[in-house]
Structure 1
Amino acid sequence: MASELHLTPVLSDALVILGAAGIVIPVFARFRVTPIIGFILVGMAVGPFGLGRLVFDYPWLQYFTITDPQGLDPFAEFGIILLLFTIGLELSFNRLWAMRRLVFGLGAMELTISAALIAFALMMMGQYWSGALGLGLALALSSTALVLPISGTKSPVGKAALSMLLFEDIAIVPIIFLLGAMAPYAATEGMEGMWTTIWMGAVTIAVLMIGGRVVLPRLFAQAARTKSPELFLAASLLVVIIASLATAAVGLSPIVGALIAGLLIAETEYHTEVEGITAPFKGLALGIFLITVGMGVDLTVIIDNAGPIFLAVAGVLAAKALVTGMLLRMMGARRGTAVETGITMSAPSETTLIVLTAAASAQLIQPQTAQFWQIVTAIGLTITPILALIGRNVARRVDAAPPVAVEDDAQERAIIIGYGRVGQLVADMMDKHGKPFLAIDADPELVQRARRKKHPLLFADVRGPALDRLDLTHANAFIITMDEPVLAARIVKKLRATHPDVPIISRARDTSHAAELYRAGATDAVPETLESSLQLSEAVLVNVGVAMGPVIASIHEKRDEFRDRLMLEGELSKRPKLKTSPAEA
């Protein structure tokens, strides 16, 4: 009995998935690489086209392969549902309404023009018009599951991507019905079915929105009173599943229901708790989906058809990036935002696989054609994180020319390394007192902000060799403001070696980091935790009746005391430790 249970395919597949999650996430996080690529590579390795080919010859490999790929599909779909649910939690109806111009304007144009361009190219290569249209609509879709976790939803790139992806998610149902209506045997029935789904879907969505506003606050209030995380989690998953089943029952995609559930909960005061408690499930289920994507990649087929597949991938990426970038520029987006969004969203989507299946079922394309484009889609999904990285680097270069005008390079000035929240405050104070300075940062958004404030800023990435190339001979002070302890210590050490007499003032995360900066050669290191404590003490003393003069004097005295102690710790740690004799020990 025990041995039979041990050999159960479900347990074997669960072992592979959990093992992949336990290995892939820490390893890729160690090298600051998204685990998305890792999950896809795991799917390629353990799937039927990887080690799965050898299971019959080497039965022990069943413990390291996925024995039932189709059995993972429900879990992968649930991962996408949870992803759309969490996206809804980050939004609100007010924010969604404010985005209506982007969703139904930019989103509609991006999908329509991209699909038309790809379809036209396929028709020129001999594909019949109905099949070309089906392929164009499928390949014009972009991956919600991959793009939004990479870009977020609050950055300019994330907002633009979100608007287009929301429209694509809404358009999935009419696209599938359109393909059904184009089938040789279902012209009339397909259109009737589409209209039925539209009106039933509208009623279902209205019921969910009205009922959710009434029921959800009471439901989560009851769950919160029990102070039971398990009950809170159960209530959250119950809402997601009911909403998804409701939209699926009338022919809409279940992800529409999940998105609505997230939007409804976002209007309550419990959305933060719900988002945190469902995050682990979303991550694991999304990992399962990515593994299923990898399992669909057959390296043998790719090698045998390397030329056509490469041209197909390159053509789709180029067409979508060009259309998306040009539309964003026409709507007033920055060049860097347009370029990064276009490149990031250029790969096909997981929903492309659904539309390809629908087109093949409607006999609009041949099964061999569907398989070819499924491989192209899987490759596109695999390289999406790489495309996002390329887009980010290209955007930085595009926005870097020219950054902000820097006048009189020969004058003495302070160099502010890092133009984030702290760096901008330092720059404002320097500007107020008429002290010349030059800020350095590699974030295009901050470049634009510096331009609006008319602050001199040089676009350069101090993580690389940029500091070695810059002319800093006229610097009268260095101010390091970034919240990256290792990088800050490294920069302090490098600057102290090249500029031994110039003051170096650095932001520190805490007192131990400040001591490390003093060891590296900082003139002053300001720990944030210490300063917040001193400010709190100052407020307490003033509010209990101590005069402001003595308070300020005592605060300065305490700050100097801590500074001297931290400098002493830094100096002592530099000294070599004396070896003691056995007798002294």
Structure 2
Amino acid sequence: MLPTLVALLGAATIAVPLTRRLGLGSVLGYLLAGVLIGPSGLRLVTGVSEISDIASLGVVMLLFLIGLELRPRRLWVMRQAVFALGPAQVVVSAAVLAALAHQAGIGWAGATVLGAGLALSSTAIVLPMLAEADLLKSPAGRDGFAVLLFQDLAFIPLVAVVPLLAEKSLPNHVPWHDVASAAAAVAVILVGGRFAVPPLIRAIGGARTPELFTTVSLLIVAGTAYIAHLAGLSMSLGAFMAGVLLSQSEYRHELQADIAPFEGLLLGFFFISVGMSADLGLARAHPGLLAAATAALLLAKVAVAFLLARVARQGLTDAVRFSLALNQASEFSFVLFGAAVAAGALAPATAAVATLVAAVSMAATPVLFALSERFLIPRLQPEPMPDFDTIEAADAPVIIAGFGRFGQVIGRVLRMYGIRFTALERNIGQVNVVRRFGNKVYFGDPTRAELLRAAGAEQARLLIIALDHPEDSLRILETARRAFPQLKILARARNRRHAHLLMDRGVDGLVRETFHSSLKLAEEALEVLGVPPEEAVRSVTLFRDHDERNLRETLAIYRDEQQLIQSTQQATEELTALFEADQRSQPAR
């Protein structure tokens, strides 16, 4: 085992830095390393199946980390892309590829399996590739993630349908035992993740015992994967469900930090095993067939994905990135082809060619994507965004994240008092306007922990979050709370729900951006309507105090819409009663 481990690590150490330096990403390096040391190369490693079993844990851990990032609220926001664009990509791609396979002389049963298997794309390739290019937050990245998520969910029913393609008629009974086993496994994972795991983490002392916390983190991933496997489900699906359940946990970031190193290493081993499994003898025997089949796969998937992206109103650049990111086959394709051969729905020789085509498409994707980023995308983006500024040594006591109209007013007041601050703004147009008026502001993304550190967050006393978008302000609050716990944090809230979300995450203070200006205008409106100035001030103050008290009281129920509506109605009645009592207590005019 030790020589095998040395060969794996040595090949990865040599190949991955070379491909990354060439701008082709790390995935291609791992694939080439596998080809080099595998049975078709130098034969340093021949036990491909043994390595594949261990390396498959990399995919399991990747799905667990995806689940941690996919909080239910985020899934609800992405519902249209997941359940509209995802099914469209899978169904249309599968239909086109199945038709091409049938035209090549394969029966409809086998062609359907090939179409479904090759329609899937590799989560393990696409997400790291987009992350390396810093594109996960772009429209192409978000929609790509949504499609991959749907594919991961669709893989289980696809495997279940494969045996039906080999039969002349549908089975005359429902496999209730298998259905019950799957339902029981899902229930165990859901209940355990909700009620058993958080107390377990608290019992071991949370993250205060790093080695034990790491052990428990790995146990959660491996345990849920094993439970799903015992029930005949995908191990990745079990780990994914556990990740989603723990996405709301206070230990989410610590779990992510502990699992990520293992995920990166084992995922690299997974791609090495894919490279090792490539049958170069078959490629040498039929180079024309391999080239034509791979080209047809890549072109068909690019064309389908590009058209769907444009229908989904992606820009031209994002549509190109989206289509080129999803043009390969998936790690699940190999599983599907194996199940089809076992069921008699796909001939072994056809499966061997399909497996090789899938592996070549996975190797080609990083190359094509890197070439497009270097030569095609710049032509579609005549005015690329400038690089973020390099922040000089910053020791100001205040950091203002977001320097639009809201942040600038704060900055002017601080400057009046002679208080130094570091201003961060990621809208280059806003930066240019502010600089024209002689103000100093740094162009950068304040949601990144490294930028906050460069801005002096470790020494600063106060962080003021004045960003426009609620999601970004919540992200920077979570980042700052985790990385710079000594910072006091004040934030701008766009609305009442945003204020609740900020309070829920422990913000030290907040201001609803239109609240005080609205009160001032209401006060002036009362005066114009004949209310004496002192009475108008008193009435507005009564409303303000009541509303801010109600904001704090509804923090515990703001996620329950029904309770929140009921509380709001009660607060309205209470406010009316308070106002009438105040009016009665005043001397008659």
Alpha-carbon distance between aligned partners in 1 of 2:229 and 2:216, rounded to the nearest angstrom: 20
List per-residue Cα deviations over 1:458-479 (Å, max 9, x = no partner).
xxxxxxxxxxxxxxxxx9x9x9
Task: Report the residue type matching 1:365 in the other structure.
Answer: L
Give runs of aligned pairs for residues 292-307 of structure 1, distance below 5 A: 292-307=273-288
Task: Tell me, in whole angstroms, the C-alpha distance in 2 between the residues paired with 1:149 and 1:29.
Answer: 12
Which amino acid counterpart does residue 83 of structure 2 have in structure 1? Answer: F
CA contact (8 A) 1:417 1:480 kept: no
Q: Deviations over 1:440-486 (max 9, x none)?
A: xxxxxxxx9768x7989xxxxxxxxxxxxxxxxxx9x9x997789xx
* Whole-Å separation in 2 of the counterparts to 1:218 and 1:454: 47
Deviations 1:76-134 (A, max 9, x none): 21111111111112221221232222222111111011000111122223221111111
1:81 to 60, 78, 91: 60
CA contact (8 A) 2:152 2:237 kept: yes
Aligned mates of 2:146, 2:457 — CA distance in 1: 40
Alignment partner of 1:177 out of 141, 160, 164: 160
Q: Secondary structure at the match of 1:357?
A: helix
Cα distance in 2 for partners of 1:332, 1:530 equals 37
In the alignment, is the contact (CA less than 8 A) between 2:431 and 2:443 conserved in 1? no
**Per-residue CA shift, 1:267-308, capped at 9, x if unaligned?**
111111111112221112111111111112233432332222
Give the superposition deviation at 1:33.
Answer: 4.5
Counterpart for residue 188 of structure 1: 171
Q: 1:395 to 1:220 in 2, by over 3 A?
A: farther
Give the match's secondary structure for 1:353.
helix
- TM superposition shift of 1:180: 0.4
User: For the residues of structure 1 that align with 2:59 and 2:103, how far apart are their CA atoms?
Assistant: 35
Equivalence for 2:500: none
Residues 336 and 398 in structure 1, CA contact (< 8 A), matched pair in contact too? no
AA partner of residue 254 (structure 1): M
Q: Is the 8 A contact 1:339 1:394 kept in 2?
A: no
CA contact (8 A) 2:11 2:37 kept: no
Aligned-partner residue type, residue 101 of structure 1: Q
Q: Find the residue that maps to 1:192 and give its secondary structure.
A: coil
d(CA) in 2 for partners of 1:89, 1:342:
26
2:349 and 2:83 map into 1 onto residues whose CA distance is 35
Query: How does 1:408-487 map onto structure 2 within 5 Å?
Result: 417-418=386-387
**Paired amino acid for 2:287:** A
User: Structure 2: which 5+ residue stretches go unaligned?
Assistant: 392-400, 409-425, 465-589
| TM-score, scaled to structure 2 | 0.65
Deviations 1:416-454 (A, max 9, x none): 9546799xx99979xx9xxxxxxxxxxxxxxx9768x79
Q: What one-letter code is carried by the residue in structure 2 that aligns with 1:208?
A: I
CA–CA distance in structure 2, aligned partners of residues 383 and 231 of structure 1: 41
Inter-partner Cα distance in structure 1 for 2:83 and 2:181? 21
Query: How far apart, CA to CA, are the structure 2 residues paired with 1:180 and 1:369?
Result: 17
- CA separation of 1:149 and 1:480: change in aligned 2, threshold 3 A: same
Q: Summarize the Cα distance change of 1:481–1:246 in structure 2 as closer, same or farther, 3 Å threshold.
A: same
Q: How many residues align?
A: 429
Equivalent-residue separation in structure 1 for 2:242 and 2:298 (angstroms): 33
For the 8 Å contact 2:316–2:380, the answer to whether it is kept is yes
Residue 366 of structure 2 aligns to which amino acid in structure 1? P
2:324 to 306, 318, 343: 343
Q: Given that residues 88 and 259 in structure 1 are in contact (C-alpha distance below 8 angstroms), is that contact kept between their aligned partners in structure 2?
A: yes
Structure 1: tracts of 5 or more residues without a match: 1-9, 53-64, 405-415, 433-447, 457-474, 485-508, 511-526, 540-585
Shift in CA distance, 454/241, structure 1 to aligned 2, threshold 3 Å:
closer
Partner SS for 1:188:
coil
Q: Give the 3 Å change call, closer, same or farther, for CA 420–192 of structure 1 in structure 2.
A: farther
Q: Structure 2 vs 1, CA of residues 420 and 89 (structure 1 numbering), >3 Å: closer, same or farther?
A: farther
Give me the whole-angstrom Cα distance separating, in 2, the residues matched to 1:531 and 1:256.
42
Alignment of structure 1 residues 38-53 onto 2, 5 Å? 38-52=29-43
1:294–1:535 CA distance, 2 compared to 1 (3 A): closer
Does the CA-based 8 Å contact 2:35-2:276 persist in structure 1?
yes
In structure 2, the CA distance between the partners of 1:307 and 1:33, relative to structure 1 (3 Å rule), is closer
SS of the aligned residue for 1:12 comes to helix
How does 1:531-550 map onto structure 2 within 5 Å? none
Amino acid at match of 1:145: A
> Match of 1:212?
193
1:147-296 alignment, distance < 5 Å: 147-152=126-131, 153-184=136-167, 187-188=170-171, 192-193=174-175, 197-198=178-179, 200-225=181-206, 227-296=208-277
1:78 is aligned with what amino acid?
Answer: L
Q: SS of the counterpart of 2:174?
A: helix
Alpha-carbon distance change, 76 to 534 in structure 1, aligned in 2, over 3 angstroms:
closer
Q: Secondary structure at the match of 1:180?
A: helix
Instruction: Give me the whole-angstrom Cα distance separating, in 2, the residues matched to 1:481 and 1:129.
Output: 60
TM-score relative to the length of structure 1: 0.65
Taking structure 1 as reference, are residues 454 and 274 closer, same or farther at Cα in structure 2, changes over 3 Å only?
Answer: closer
Amino acid at match of 2:211: E
Q: Report Cα offsets for 1:390-416 as digits up to 9, x if no partner.
A: 444577346426x59xxxxxxxxxxx9
**Which runs of structure 2 are paired with 1:313-332 in the superposition (5 Å)?**
313-332=294-313
After TM superposition, give the deviation of residue 45 of structure 1 in Å.
1.1
Q: Distance in 2 between matches of 1:66 and 1:533?
A: 48
The answer on whether the counterparts of 1:197 and 1:252 sit within 8 Å (CA) in structure 2 is no
What residue in structure 1 maps to residue 7 of structure 2? Answer: 16
Alignment correspondent of 1:95: 74
| Percent identity between the two aligned chains | 31
Task: Give me the whole-angstrom Cα distance separating, in 2, the residues matched to 1:102 and 1:210.
Answer: 28
Q: Does residue 63 of structure 2 align to residue 72 of structure 1?
A: no
- In structure 1, the residue matched to 2:25 is 34
- Give the aligned CA root-mean-square deviation in angstroms: 3.9
Q: Which residue of 2 aligns with 1:355?
A: 336
d(CA) in 1 for partners of 2:402, 2:257: 35
- Separation (CA, whole Å) in 1 of partners of 2:357 and 2:21: 30
